[in-house]
Amino acid sequence: MSDVGPRYSPRAELTEAAARARLFLSSYAALFGILAIRFDGLALRLVCLGLCLIGLADTFRITHSARSRREPYVITIDESEDTGGEVSGYLASYLLPFVTVSAPGWRDLLAYSLFLVVGLVIYVRSNLVRVNPTLYLFGYRVLRVRYNTSKKQYLLIRIAPEIGQMLSVVDVAGVMLDAGGDDADC
Amino acid sequence: MRTAEQWTSRTLGRNAALVLGWRRGSRIVGGRLNLARDMNSALRQRARAALAQIGERTPRSYDAAAQLEDDEVFLLDVDQLPSHPKRREPGKRSGAEIESPPDEQEEASALIDLLAKPGSLDPLLADGVRGRIFLFYAVVFTGRDSSIAFLKRHNPGAVLKTDRLLGLLGQDVTRIEDPVLIFEPDFDLIIEGNELAALTPTALRRLFIDLDVAAAAVPAHVAELRRLRRLRFPESTLETIAKACAKRRLLAGRLQSLIQTEHLAKLTVEMVKAYVAGIDEDPRRYIRDGKLVVTEEDVGALIDVLDQRHYRGGYDKLLRRADRTSVIRQS
């Protein structure tokens, strides 16, 4: 087999999956907050509150770190459309806290955990990574964009771009994040 | 075409992107590696130094056989790169006909397209790049209006191919297992729009004439020779050339260079005979019954003859072979 050019790497897949798993926790941060309110036991409340705070903090850290540490690249927007419909579909899983009992037994907790594990596997193995309600709480919108004539990708951005607008973006777990700033020469 | 001063005064776009290029078949393709922000200033400094070098050097006009001295720079438009004429008539192509490999002009145009919008390239994952072979790396600075690419024909991951063990010097020396990229202090080629500035003598040749590709393209080049009606290559000679070039990759590279010369299509057997006689060689070494005929050992010598590689010393009058040539004056 030729040694020329990049190759498929299972380790690279694992790294990518780890980045997506972080975003999974981030996407359910608000759900864990609701569960913390719904559950009765102190221990359960503290665990859910902890997961909520970790998810929120990680969302901030992932986006802030990507914007401040990663060198952006420039794209030109040809077309953009909102993906709100996809997010509202994902929000169906947010019904979980409202069908739970406030004082769950160990079998209830096991069932909820299994639900989350299945959700994690689907999230990491699919392109659901773009659907993250917590990012909306941070002021981002998720748009499906066509850029540089023929490329298509999902873009996290606070203000929807105009057609023909040049944007500086960075890659975050398979989606593009608006890095802000102008494109002045220097 | 842009002057050396215009190149030197060029400002660099705010954003830098790192592109790795490699060959897939006869095509140059590329991918984008994410850069940390602190790499921007270091690479920008090298890019500015490369632009400054253009102003410090003597600009040379480009031709396919020209060679650069260390204090010279080629400033050229992509249209000036060698391009073999497409002699194939529409509708005449048979199923057995061999596809011609891209010429330098086509390759350069493809490279320009590749580097113009690095944001369009698929991102490369670090672990997928580790230990692999790449043709070049390029740093592309993108601004409001355009982008400018600084290309180095070097495999930045080559350090890991030499079985070296890399250690991180600290209180304890630890093994570096992550992929390491080595960036050279200079660049070979600067590309903006359709214009190129070549800073190293072999930048263009080494980038566009890949010996593996040249070897793979031998049948196509032999087919080009077959189309040269004026030179009348017998089939046996073409077979001999194909056999010799298939065995020797460097010879295949020289054949590729010959195919791209403009004078080849105008040559006749009589002109070749006169050239050979002019260098005091026996024309029967190459020409029999008015046709070009060579043995396998003489294929390299025939390529030299057709590529007009011979000259006599101005003082000692000894016959020499020009390994590097430059056209000084067109007239």
Distance between B53 CA and the closest CA of chain A, angstroms: 18
Instruction: Count how many domains chain B has.
Output: 2
Q: What is the pLDDT of residue A116?
A: 87
| Residue B132, domain extent | 4-208
**Collapsed DSSP state (helix, strand, coil) of residue B284:** helix
Q: Which helix (H) or strand (E) holds A33?
A: helix A29-38
From first CA to last CA, the distance across chain A in angstroms is 44
Least confident of A38-42, A97-101, B254-258, B295-299: A97-101
Q: What is the pLDDT of residue B89?
A: 47
Note whether B32 and B67 are same-domain residues. yes
Interface of A with B in 15-54 (CB under 8 A): 15-16
Distance between B46 CA and the closest CA of chain A, angstroms: 14
Note whether B169 and B216 are same-domain residues. no
Do residues B67 and B201 touch, judged by C-beta distance below 8 A? yes
Strands B72-77 and A166-172: unpaired
Q: What is the pLDDT of residue B45?
A: 92
Question: What distance in Å separates the CA atoms of residue B12 and residue A185, rounded to the nearest whole number?
Answer: 5
With cut-offs at 50, 70 and 90, classify the pLDDT of residue B96.
very low
B71 in a domain, yes or no?
yes
pTM of full prediction above 0.90: no
Asked whether residue A4 carries a pLDDT value surpassing 90, the answer given is no
DSSP secondary structure letter of residue B133: B
Q: Which one, of B18, B64, B137, lies nearest residue B324 by Cα?
A: B64
Q: What is the pLDDT of residue A78?
A: 92
pLDDT digits (tens, 9 = 90+) for B125-140: 887 887 788 888 999 9
The residue ranking higher by pLDDT, B214 or B166, is B166
Partner residue opposite A74 with nearest CB, options B15, B127, B134: B15
Note whether B195 and B225 are same-domain residues. no
B14:A181 CB<8 A: yes
With cut-offs at 50, 70 and 90, classify the pLDDT of residue B160.
low
B12:A68 CB<8 A: no
Note whether B221 and B163 are same-domain residues. no
Tell me the C-alpha to C-alpha distance, in Å, between residue B226 and each of B30, B106, B241, B301.
34, 22, 11, 19
**Collapsed DSSP state (helix, strand, coil) of residue B90:** coil
Asked whether residue B326 carries a pLDDT value surpassing 80, the answer given is no
Note whether B198 and B242 are same-domain residues. no
B331 in a domain, yes or no?
no
**Nearest chain B residue to A4, by CA:** B133
The residue ranking higher by pLDDT, B4 or B158, is B4
Residues of B in contact with A175 (CB under 8 A): none
Least confident of B150-164, B250-264, B287-301: B150-164
B118 in a domain, yes or no?
yes
B298 in a domain, yes or no?
yes
Asked whether residue A120 carries a pLDDT value surpassing 70, the answer given is yes
Identity of residue B49: A
Asked whether residue B59 carries a pLDDT value surpassing 50, the answer given is yes
Note whether B237 and B276 are same-domain residues. yes
Q: What share of chain A in percent tops pLDDT 90?
A: 19
Question: What distance in Å separates the CA atoms of residue A7 and residue A2, rounded to the nearest whole number?
Answer: 10
Asked whether residue B267 carries a pLDDT value surpassing 70, the answer given is yes
B15:A182 CB<8 A: no
CA angle B294, B246, B98 (to 5 degrees): 95
Residues of B in contact with A145 (CB under 8 A): none
Note whether B13 and B143 are same-domain residues. yes
Q: What is the pLDDT of residue B211?
A: 58
Query: For B152-170, what is the mean pLDDT?
Result: 74
**Does B15 contact A at CB distance below 8 Å?**
yes
B12:A7 CB<8 A: no
A185:B15 CB<8 A: no
B134:A5 CB<8 A: yes
B36:A182 CB<8 A: no
Q: What is the pLDDT of residue A173?
A: 77
A75:B119 CB<8 A: yes
A12:B32 CB<8 A: no
Asked whether residue B97 carries a pLDDT value surpassing 50, the answer given is no
Mean pLDDT, chain B, integer: 82
Residues of A in contact with B14 (CB under 8 A): 168, 181-186
Distance between B177 CA and the closest CA of chain A, angstroms: 13
Residues of B in contact with A150 (CB under 8 A): 120
Q: What is the pLDDT of residue B256?
A: 82
Strands A151-157 and A175-178: parallel
Asked whether residue B2 carries a pLDDT value surpassing 80, the answer given is yes
Distance between B248 CA and the closest CA of chain A, angstroms: 21
Q: Which one, of B20, B83, B53, lies nearest residue B200 by Cα?
A: B53
Identity of residue B140: V
- Determine the distance from the C-alpha atom of residue B187 to the mean position of all C-alpha atoms in its chain, rounded to a whole number: 15
B104 in a domain, yes or no?
yes
B17 in a domain, yes or no?
yes
Asked whether residue B21 carries a pLDDT value surpassing 50, the answer given is yes
Asked whether residue B162 carries a pLDDT value surpassing 70, the answer given is no
Asked whether residue B119 carries a pLDDT value surpassing 70, the answer given is yes
Which stretches within B181-307 are classed as H helix? 203-208, 211-216, 218-227, 235-247, 249-259, 269-278, 299-306
Note whether B155 and B276 are same-domain residues. no
Mean pLDDT, chain A, integer: 84
Q: What share of chain B in percent tops pLDDT 90?
A: 24
Which of B174, B208, B242 is at the close of a domain? B208
Asked whether residue B98 carries a pLDDT value surpassing 90, the answer given is no
Partner residue opposite A73 with nearest CB, options B15, B29, B144: B15
Asked whether residue B64 carries a pLDDT value surpassing 70, the answer given is no
Q: Which one, of B196, B105, B84, lies nearest residue B148 by Cα?
A: B196
**Does B30 contact A at CB distance below 8 Å?**
no
Tell me the C-alpha to C-alpha distance, in Å, between residue B159 and each of A8, A94, B249, B269.
21, 50, 26, 50
Which of B186, B208, B230 is at the close of a domain? B208
Q: What is the pLDDT of residue A115?
A: 87
User: Which tokens go with B115?
Assistant: 């580097």
Question: What distance in Å separates the CA atoms of residue B17 and residue B229, rounded to the nearest whole number?
Answer: 48
Asked whether residue B90 carries a pLDDT value surpassing 50, the answer given is no
Q: What is the pLDDT of residue B62?
A: 76
Q: What is the pLDDT of residue B47?
A: 94
Note whether B85 and B101 are same-domain residues. yes
Buried b (16+ CB within 10 A) or exposed e, B39-72: bbeebbebbeebbebbeebebbebbbbbebeeeb
Residues of B in contact with A76 (CB under 8 A): 117
Query: For B229-255, what is the mean pLDDT?
Result: 86
Do residues B217 and B252 touch, judged by C-beta distance below 8 A? yes
Asked whether residue A1 carries a pLDDT value surpassing 70, the answer given is no
Chosen for mutation from B132, B161, B162 (greatest number of chain A CBs closer than 10 Å) is B132
Q: What is the pLDDT of residue B84?
A: 57
Q: What is the pLDDT of residue B87?
A: 46
A151:B29 CB<8 A: no
Q: Which one, of B134, B78, B149, lies nearest residue B107 by Cα?
A: B78
User: Which tokens go with B100?
Assistant: 């011609």
Query: For B51-64, what is the mean pLDDT?
Result: 84
Asked whether residue B220 carries a pLDDT value surpassing 50, the answer given is yes
Q: What is the pLDDT of residue B94?
A: 45
B132:A16 CB<8 A: no
Least confident of A98-102, A150-154, B16-20, B282-286: A98-102
Q: What is the pLDDT of residue B66?
A: 65
Note whether B111 and B192 are same-domain residues. yes
Interface of B with A in 138-177 (CB under 8 A): 142-144, 147
- Determine the distance from the C-alpha atom of residue B162 to the mean position of all C-alpha atoms in its chain, rounded to a whole number: 25
Q: What is the pLDDT of residue A157?
A: 92
A150:B120 CB<8 A: yes
B143:A170 CB<8 A: no
